[in-house]
């Protein structure tokens, strides 16, 4: 069985295992204060052109999202997000468990727009019983989105401007950020994220690390005391070096770019093959997740050899499926898939 169902199917990029092996018997202080964490922080700050940003390492995306929401929001505030936002649908109510409501706006291919945010806030503050409803305190977006689509720089700037107008923090979930960064279509750089958001994170789990996300906090007021939250929410690893070594490796000699380019290249080959065959996509995603619509016959034919991920029902006996590539996807498996797709389509 060749699996394309997600981008977290394998262990870690060999260079990461190598680094863990190499440093294994060094003795380092705990809780993210070791030299590898420091080195990784310095490299991330340099890459993002944000010399003063706080950089914290967390074990996973839900952990990062819930800790950020808990830390950044006031107790009467909620987080505006797309109704497809990961925090709204796929984190078991983790944000609510920190006491905050996810304030959902209708998505367009996984995205929300500045005008929606402005309209929501304007309506909130126009009400003379505004305190009976949750005050918007943050905008949460994902880059790429849960549907693999990308915000443009101009969209991000507009959202950022809307946030500043209404006193909202802007927080970007970058669980798959390195795949966004590797897209030709993308014009939102790490520097742009550092400039236009209050905080964002760079996912490691789906990008070749065993686990881990690097949270970059651009607003010093939000960064102050954040380590208390890290510890309180269970996100501070005793052996923090495990995360430091991995991000240090990802940010050495452009490894994260290489990984991104690899996955995006292979996704492109599959996308082109599907387009050539006239396959419809539920969402036009330029990143490492593809959402083709297949009928039962195609699914059956593929299912003997490939594992894809069922995304949602598309009606008429058709299904939206998800195909992912990653740092670990092998070119020969992609070629095999394309051959078999061509045969069955």
Between 47 and 223, name the residue whose CB sits nearer to a second copy. Answer: 223
Is 129 a binding residue for a second copy by CB under 8 A? The answer is yes
Is 241 a binding residue for a second copy by CB under 8 A? The answer is yes
3-32: contacts with a second copy (CB under 8 A): 3, 5-6, 8-12, 14, 17, 20-21, 23-31
Q: Which of 272, 331, 328 is nearest to 7 (CA)?
A: 328
d(Cα 146, Cα 183) in Å, to the nearest integer?
16
Interface residue with a second copy among 138, 159, 207, 237 (CB under 8 A) is 237
Interface residue with a second copy among 44, 48, 71, 177 (CB under 8 A) is 71
81-100: contacts with a second copy (CB under 8 A): 89-94, 96-100
Q: Indicate the length of the chain as a whole number.
A: 345
Chain position carrying tokens 């870690």: 12
Q: Where are the beta strands (DSSP E) in the chain?
A: 2-3, 54-58, 77-82, 102-105, 135-142, 169-173, 199-203, 213-217, 289-290, 293-295, 306-307, 309-315, 318-324
212-231: contacts with a second copy (CB under 8 A): 225, 227-231
Q: How far is the CB of 35 from a second copy (least distance, A)?
A: 13
Between 196 and 327, name the residue whose CB sits nearer to a second copy. Answer: 327
Is 124 a binding residue for a second copy by CB under 8 A? The answer is no
Contact partners, residue 178, CB within 8 Å, separation at least 6: 202, 203, 207, 250, 256, 257, 259, 260
d(Cα 172, Cα 294) in Å, to the nearest integer?
32
Is 210 a binding residue for a second copy by CB under 8 A? The answer is yes
Is 59 a binding residue for a second copy by CB under 8 A? The answer is yes
d(Cα 290, Cα 309) in Å, to the nearest integer?
10
Q: State the Rg of the chain over Cα.
A: 20
Is 107 a binding residue for a second copy by CB under 8 A? The answer is no
Q: How far is the CB of 91 from a second copy (least distance, A)?
A: 7
Task: Give, for 95, the enclosing helix (H) or strand (E).
Answer: helix 94-97
Interface residue with a second copy among 37, 40, 45, 62 (CB under 8 A) is 62
Is 60 a binding residue for a second copy by CB under 8 A? The answer is yes
156 to 195: interface string for a second copy, x by CB under 8 A: ----------------------------------------
Is 49 a binding residue for a second copy by CB under 8 A? The answer is no
Q: Are 181 and 210 in contact (CB under 8 A)?
A: no
Interface residue with a second copy among 51, 52, 74, 315 (CB under 8 A) is 74
Is 336 a binding residue for a second copy by CB under 8 A? The answer is no
What ranges in 149-254 are assigned the alpha helix state H?
Answer: 153-165, 177-181, 190-196, 220-223, 226-232, 241-250
Structure tokens belonging to residue 17: 């295992």
Between 8 and 120, name the residue whose CB sits nearer to a second copy. Answer: 8
Is 232 a binding residue for a second copy by CB under 8 A? The answer is yes
């Amino acid at each position: 069985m060749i699996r394309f169902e997600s981008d977290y199917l394998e262990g870690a990029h060999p260079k990461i295992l190598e680094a863990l092996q190499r440093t294994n018997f060094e003795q380092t202080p705990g809780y993210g204060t070791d030299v590898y964490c420091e080195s990784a922080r310095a490299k991330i700050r340099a890459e993002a052109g944000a010399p003063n940003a706080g950089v914290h390492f967390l074990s996973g995306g839900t952990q990062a999202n819930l800790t950020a929401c808990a830390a950044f929001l006031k107790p009467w505030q909620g987080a505006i997000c797309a109704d497809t936002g990961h925090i709204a649908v796929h984190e078991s109510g983790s944000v609510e468990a920190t006491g905050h409501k996810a304030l959902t706006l209708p998505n367009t291919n996984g995205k929300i727009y500045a005008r929606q945010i402005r309209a929501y806030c304007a309506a909130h503050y126009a009400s003379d019983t505004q305190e009976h409803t949750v005050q918007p305190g943050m905008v949460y977006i994902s880059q790429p989105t849960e549907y693999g689509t990308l915000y443009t720089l101009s969209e991000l700037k507009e959202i950022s401007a809307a946030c500043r107008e209404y006193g909202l923090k802007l927080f970007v979930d970058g669980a798959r950020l390195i795949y966004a960064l590797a897209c030709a279509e993308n014009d939102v750089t790490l520097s742009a994220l550092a400039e236009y958001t209050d905080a964002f994170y760079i996912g490691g789990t789906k990008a070749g690390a065993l686990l881990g996300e690097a949270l970059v906090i651009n607003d010093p007021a939000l960064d102050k005391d954040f380590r208390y939250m890290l510890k309180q929410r269970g996100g501070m690893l005793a052996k923090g070096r495990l995360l430091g070594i991995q991000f240090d490796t990802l940010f050495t000699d452009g490894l994260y770019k290489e990984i991104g380019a690899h996955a995006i290249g292979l996704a492109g080959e599959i996308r082109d093959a599907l387009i050539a065959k006239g396959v419809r996509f539920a969402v036009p995603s330029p990143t490492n997740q593809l959402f083709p619509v297949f009928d039962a016959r195609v699914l059956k034919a593929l299912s003997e050899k490939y594992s894809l991920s069922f995304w949602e029902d598309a009606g008429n006996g058709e299904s939206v499926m998800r195909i992912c590539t990653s740092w670990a996807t092998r070119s020969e498996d992609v070629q095999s898939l394309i051959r078999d797709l061509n045969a069955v389509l």
